[in-house]
Amino acid sequence: MKPPGNGAARLLSGAGLAAALLLPTAVPAQAAPPSRVPAADGKKGQELPGMPSALDPEADEVVCTPASRETAKKQDWSRQRLDLDRLHQHSTGAGVTVALIGTGVDPGAAGLKGRVTAAGAAADDCVGNGTFLAGLIAGTGGESPRLAGVAPGAKILALRGTDRSGGASADLVVDALRAATEARAGVIAVAVALPRQDAALSSAVAEARRAGAVVVAAATPDPPSRGGTDEIPSRTYYPAGDPGVISVADMLPGGARPDGSLPTDGVDLAAPGAGVVSGGPRGTGHYLGGGVQVATAYAAGAAAAVRAAHPDASPDDVVRRLTATAYPADIPQLDAYAAVTTVLGAAASAGDEDAAQPVTVRDTSAADRATGRATLFVLLGSAAVLAVLWAGFALSRARARGWRPAGAAGTASD
């Protein structure tokens, strides 16, 4: 599911950006260090508390992620990269339900009130990560509308795929997939990546796809730390490795995966997964998060936006749109705006991938290509200036010789 495509990319510059974006992924919530939202101009930026993806499994007592007292002042790079301001002029995901399988979602969270269905344990998000992801998928941004999710008109069906501390469970994921299928969710986002294939899990995925759901899953778990992964062999994780599932990895603003990412193959899309701002289950403040789960949430929101804009599209058509319009790279990079607005050939809806060529696409210049063109223009401009200067010099010398060839002046005077 990796056809070449087109998309738009916006990059954020700033010294020390990569280091500022990396976050812990499995730490006690009370110890989660503050992280900085990098400023677009490369200045210091704003400090926000970090959002963990899991709590310390060895802690004697589970301490939930505390409320943030900080509110983000600006739109982060990820929303600019996905062109959400323009996307929302074409689709908000209205009418689509996204089932989110993770740590749960607080139904009363800021920006999500009235649009989250969560029963039992799924309404208790102690980690906070599930609510954070729900905000990226379908949050309105509350009092900060520029921090809305990809599909702020969509609804969230919260389902648990982990224990209360965020530890993944294959049995819980299977039960959640079946519940999402029964609820007729249009998109199922699995923020859990399991290291082994399971027959019941694969069966639940297949049932969901037959029922018409687009299934999006994290390509890998978030690593326990961003170092020490060199000796970990590449492997396939599930349900991302099951047929028909969109496997999603995280990327930095420049398009590369973060250092220390777990190795895997068969990834279909990369999406922003570092330095991302969203809310949590307690209070109205913001957190800074990152990782594969964050990228998965963005891809699921894009799938919801596509389903709302193209209600007659089949699940395979939606997958085709997301992958065919992605910016071409080693791992194609999600372009939510292009996925919704690009006009694909009629054969695309018929499933003929060879004939499905984009008819109209928007500007697909990325920063590296733009830089290359700028460099070429500078070189060509410099060459043109030198040519003009040389022509002027040659003409003045020729005039001084009376328009005689060089070396002929002495002969003419004899």
Residue 29: the pLDDT is: 36
pLDDT in tens, 37-68: 554 444 556 689 999 999 988 888 889 999 99
Q: Which helix (H) or strand (E) holds 46?
A: strand 46-49
pLDDT, residue 382, reads 46
Q: What is the mean pLDDT of residues 73-84?
A: 93
Q: Comparing 133 with 27, which gets the higher pLDDT?
A: 133
Tokens representing 142?
A: 């509350």
- Which tens digit of pLDDT belongs to each residue from 353-364? 433 333 322 333
Task: Give the CA angle between residues 316, 321, 326 to the nearest 5°.
Answer: 130
Contacts of 394 (CB under 8 A, 6+ apart): none
Lowest mean pLDDT among 160-174, 202-216, 225-239: 225-239
Note whether 19 and 38 are within 8 A (CB): no
Average pLDDT over residues 171-194: 98
> Where does the pLDDT of residue 16 fall: very low under 50, low under 70, confident under 90, or very high at 90 and above?
very low
Burial class (CB in 10 A: 0-12, 13-18, 19+), 3: middle
> Which range is least confidently modeled, 1-5, 229-233, 264-268, 334-338?
1-5
pLDDT band (50, 70, 90) for residue 1: very low
* Helix, strand, or coil (residue 102): strand
Helix (H, G, I), strand (E, B) or coil at 62: coil
Q: How far is residue 49's CA from residue 312's CA, in Å, rounded to a whole number?
A: 42
Structure confidence by residue, pLDDT tens digits, 139-156:
999 889 999 999 999 999
Please state at what angle helix 199-210 crosses helix 170-182, rounded to 10 degrees.
20
pLDDT at 173 over 50: yes
Mean pLDDT of the chain: 80
Residue 394 confidence class, pLDDT cut points 50, 70, 90: low
Which pLDDT band, with edges at 50, 70 and 90, does 366 fall under? very low
Residues 6+ apart with CB under 8 A from 399: none
Please check the confidence at residue 407 and state whether its pLDDT lies above 60: no
The tokens describing 150, both together, are 């990809």
Cβ-based burial of 400 (10 A; exposed 0-12, middle 13-18, buried ≥19): exposed
pTM: 0.77
Residue with tokens 């599209």: 313
Comparing CA positions, the residue from 196, 80, 90, 224 lying closest to residue 151 is 90
| pLDDT band at residue 367 using 50, 70 and 90 as cut-offs | very low
**Cα–Cα distance between 18 and 76 in angstroms, integer?**
14
Residue appearing with tokens 């926000």? 48
What is the rounded distance in angstroms from the CA atom of residue 280 to the CA atom of residue 105? 9
Q: Quote the pLDDT of residue 376.
A: 42
- Span 256-261, average pLDDT: 92
Segment 202-207 mean pLDDT: 98
Confidence tier at 344 by pLDDT (50, 70, 90) = confident
Of the ranges 20-24, 150-154, 253-257, 381-385, which one carries the lowest mean pLDDT score?
Answer: 20-24
Instruction: Check pLDDT > 60 for residue 321.
Output: yes
Q: What is the DSSP annotation of 259-278?
A: TTPPP-S---EEEE-SSEEE
Residue 229's pLDDT is 57
Rounded to whole angstroms, how far apart are CA atoms 59 and 349? Answer: 51
